[in-house]
Amino acid sequence: MSSPAANVRHKLSVSDYYRMGDAGILHEDSRVELIEGELIDMSPIGSHHAGIVTRISHVLNKKINDQAIVSVQNPVRLSDWSEPQPDIMLLKPRSDYYYDSHPKSSDVLVLIEVADSSIDYDRKTKLPLYARSGIKEFWIIDLNTQRLERYSQPGETGYGHCETFDKTGTISPDGLPDLVIDLSRILE
């Protein structure tokens, strides 16, 4: 007699995810993202969160020129099993503006998550995922503490370097050293 099988989850691939959309199972306005083969409900975007994302996007667009593409709440293909939708990404310039395919981790110069109620999820789930996927630089804007956490040196077990900034300083992404951002423009 065989023993009962353990509960096994069925992982969804990115292809499965898009087929679900094509079949009408997931709608364009569904607030879900694919993380390690699982559909994860995204938190509703409150006005404070939306305002900060808009402010950061505005500041970056004014300063960036043609050094990078600012992408707001669009997908990034990390693997066959993960396609999150971060708040903001600075992407390597590409003539098609990623029309032909979503960016991959190697296209991302900086990935930014704005966090209030999602802070634990961003630190415990997304941070290690981004590190394993090779996202070179990851910022968390913590709305609760009004601090920016900057993570770099990605590896299989996380990021090797972390710095925390408040609104009194400036920051320059490692991949865009000429881009100097006054943190008082993005933190309150």
Give the pTM.
0.93
**Other residues' Cβ atoms within 10 Å of the Cβ of residue 84:** 21
By DSSP bridging, strand 181-182 and strand 147-155 are unpaired
Cβ contacts of 6 within 8 Å, gap of 6 or more:
none
pLDDT one-digit tens code per residue, 89-128: 999 999 999 999 999 999 999 999 999 888 999 999 999 9
CA distance 79 to 61: 28
CATH number of 46-185: 3.90.1570.10
Q: Which two tokens stand for residue 173?
A: 């992404």
Q: Which of 42, 149, 46, 126 is nearest to 78 (CA)?
A: 126
pLDDT one-digit tens code per residue, 19-64: 999 999 998 888 999 999 999 998 888 899 999 999 999 999 999 9
Q: Where are the domains of the chain?
A: 46-185
